[in-house]
Amino acid sequence: MKLKTRLRITFAAMVVGPIVLLLVLLAIFGRLRIRSLEREYGIEMTMGNLINSVQMLNETTTRVWEEMTAQAEEDTDEFLRFSYLQHLDEELESRLSFLVLVKDGKLYYQGNEEEDLHLLLRRLPPYGSAKDDDKENGVYIGGRKRAMVKQIDLDFSDGSRGSAYIVTTDSAIVPQLWFMLMEVGAVIVIVLVITGLIMTLWINNGINRPIRRLQEAARRITQGDLDFTLEAEGKDEISDLTRDFETMRRQLVQTEELKRRYDSESRELISNISHDLKTPVTTIKGYVEGIMDGVADTPEKMDRYIRTIYSKANEMDRLINELTFYSRIDTNRIPYHFTRLNVYEYFNDCAEELKMEMDGLGIQFTYEYLANKDTLIIADPEQLMRVISNIVGNSVKYIGGKKGEISLRVLDVGDLVQVELEDNGPGIATEDLAAIFDRFYRTDESRSSSTGGSGIGLSIVKKIIEDHGGKIWASSQLGHGTTMHFVLRKYST
């Protein structure tokens, strides 16, 4: 669930939930309160009575009022007997009310001794002023001292007249109201606590728990521990954040693996270069010592020694150049200088240089140009020459002692120019073909250690061709040689 939706539901629940719970709990508490009052006062009550305390207390004195009315009809003079009045007053006291009797305008009996009660007694309705409904239901007397009053008019046998009053003052009503307010307040507190607890648990389950998982994941990453998985459980914002966090963790794992691989490759490169430099250095040192000791005592020997030293120095220079170029590949800082090249002219020049070099090595070189002589490409001539030199150098290295043959062919294949360099070397096994362009990959470790090489020559070739927008691949057959193919897109004006 989206966090925005969750917050909206929380807001609605915090508003509507307490109202609903309040109504439910008020109904329950109200029913319990009604039953308690019914047992206490012996009356039948409704929710309306419970809300209106004055009406409720008025109902509690109904039975006493009916008893007094019946007595007035039977024998009015009974009200002049003090013991009867005390009996009535005791009944009313349990109903939070008291009795007042006025005879001929004078106070005859008063069942309450409050100091300021005289303020109320002076406002009691006179004999014969109450309507029939007011006699039973009572009238409300306001002012400084407030009360609900029920009146019964009395005609005594001696010819005097008077009224009996059932009085329920606000001093009796207020405690009831206060008690009810306390009940309502308790209900409200309970409702808020329940609602808050439910919402807190819901929010904790939906927000706090995933956040704690993210905090734990961040702590483990800080400590270098990436061996765990974060699973997103929903489609909300925190789940999206969890998925992003998991993506970041995976990228860190990949970066760590790449770093380990890079460190391993760097160590291997240094080891390869060190090994491959040691051989020509040892050879150069030996031949120089021979010259210094006078072993090269003829012009022919001196010329052979110097040529060997020159060849080994060139081999060292090539290895150093590969190392420098390798560092540029890793930082994507290969210095390209692209220009328009005429394919025919460029590869004719390349073929002439290669033929001279191969003749010096005793390798037969052939060249075929099978494309349009006006074909143009966009390329860096220096880096493209590095590609050809690396491929040819790799072929020369693996041809071995037999009579070597290397062919260069340039073909027209639609929108592309395809270049093929074929040798008659030992060939490459089919399962090795897909990996020969990987860094430091060698198909035969024993042969590689004897022939030398950094193991990055073909990876450099692949990088340059791909940076030219082309593609390179190899085909081979064990015992019959290998052909390197690469294509470059034609330039059209």
pLDDT digits (tens, 9 = 90+) for 14-46: 666 667 766 776 677 666 666 665 555 554 555
Residue 380 has pLDDT above 70, yes or no: yes
On average, the pLDDT of the chain sits at 79
Contact (CB, 8 A) for 200 and 38:
no
Confidence of residue 378 (pLDDT cuts 50, 70, 90): very high
Q: Which range, 333-337, 358-362, 486-490, is most confident?
A: 486-490
List the one residue out of 198, 16, 195 whose CA is nearest residue 8. Answer: 16
Paired residues of 162 in beta bridges: 103, 154
* Interval 262-277 mean pLDDT: 69
List the one residue out of 208, 192, 136, 270 whose CA is nearest residue 17. Answer: 192
Higher pLDDT, 257 or 268: 257
pLDDT at 388: 93
Phi, psi of 110 (to 5 degrees): -135, 120
List the one residue out of 142, 143, 135, 144 whose CA is nearest residue 166. Answer: 135
Angle at the Cα of 472 (from 466 to 474), degrees rounded to 5?
Answer: 155
Dihedral, 374, 375, 377, 382 alpha carbons, nearest 10? -60
Q: In whole angstroms, what is the distance from residue 283 CA to residue 412 CA?
A: 45
Q: In whole angstroms, what is the distance from residue 9 CA to residue 216 CA?
A: 28
Percent of the chain with pLDDT over 70: 73
Percent of the chain with pLDDT over 90: 20
pLDDT at 259: 80
Residue 212 has pLDDT above 60, yes or no: yes
Q: Which two tokens stand for residue 266?
A: 């760097």
Higher pLDDT, 236 or 435: 435
pLDDT at 3: 54
**Class of residue 442 by CB neighbours under 10 A (exposed 0-12, middle 13-18, buried 19+):** middle
Of 1.10.287.130, 3.30.70.2860, 2.40.110.10, 3.30.56.10, which CATH number belongs to 237-326? 1.10.287.130
Confidence of residue 405 (pLDDT cuts 50, 70, 90): very high
Q: Which range, 36-45, 245-254, 372-381, 422-431, is most confident?
A: 372-381
pLDDT at 347: 95
pLDDT at 452: 47
pLDDT at 446: 37
Residue 371 has pLDDT above 70, yes or no: yes
Q: Which two tokens stand for residue 57?
A: 């207390």
405-413/364-370 β-pairing = parallel
* Interval 306-327 mean pLDDT: 77
Find all residues with CB under 8 Å of 456, minimum gap 6, and list them.
269, 322, 326, 439, 440
* Interval 92-99 mean pLDDT: 82
Q: Minimum mean pLDDT among 14-23, 62-71, 79-88: which range?
A: 14-23
Q: Minimum mean pLDDT among 170-174, 214-218, 273-277, 405-409: which range?
A: 170-174
pLDDT at 279: 75
Q: In whole angstroms, what is the distance from residue 464 CA to residue 322 CA?
A: 13
pLDDT at 308: 86
Residue 447 has pLDDT above 60, yes or no: no
pLDDT in tens, 450-490: 444 556 778 888 989 999 999 999 999 888 899 999 999 99
Confidence of residue 326 (pLDDT cuts 50, 70, 90): low
Domain 237-326 identical in fold to domain 337-491: no
pLDDT at 365: 94
Q: Which two tokens stand for residue 53?
A: 């305390």
* Interval 51-74 mean pLDDT: 75
* Interval 186-201 mean pLDDT: 75
Confidence of residue 51 (pLDDT cuts 50, 70, 90): very low
pLDDT at 209: 75
Rg (alpha carbons) of the chain, rounded to whole number: 56
Largest CA distance in the chain: 176
Q: Is 211 helix (H, G, I), strand (E, B) or coil?
A: helix
Q: Where are the domains of the chain?
A: 1-223, 237-326, 337-491
Phi, psi of 95 (to 5 degrees): -100, 15
- The CATH superfamily assigned to 337-491 is Histidine kinase-like ATPase, C-terminal domain (3.30.565.10)
Q: Is 374 helix (H, G, I), strand (E, B) or coil?
A: coil
pLDDT at 116: 63
Contact (CB, 8 A) for 407 and 422:
yes
pLDDT at 327: 63
pLDDT in tens, 383-400: 999 899 889 988 888 886
Q: In whole angstroms, what is the distance from residue 476 CA to residue 423 CA?
A: 10
Q: Minimum mean pLDDT among 70-74, 186-190, 321-325, 372-376: which range?
A: 321-325
Higher pLDDT, 302 or 400: 302
Higher pLDDT, 98 or 53: 98
Confidence of residue 189 (pLDDT cuts 50, 70, 90): confident
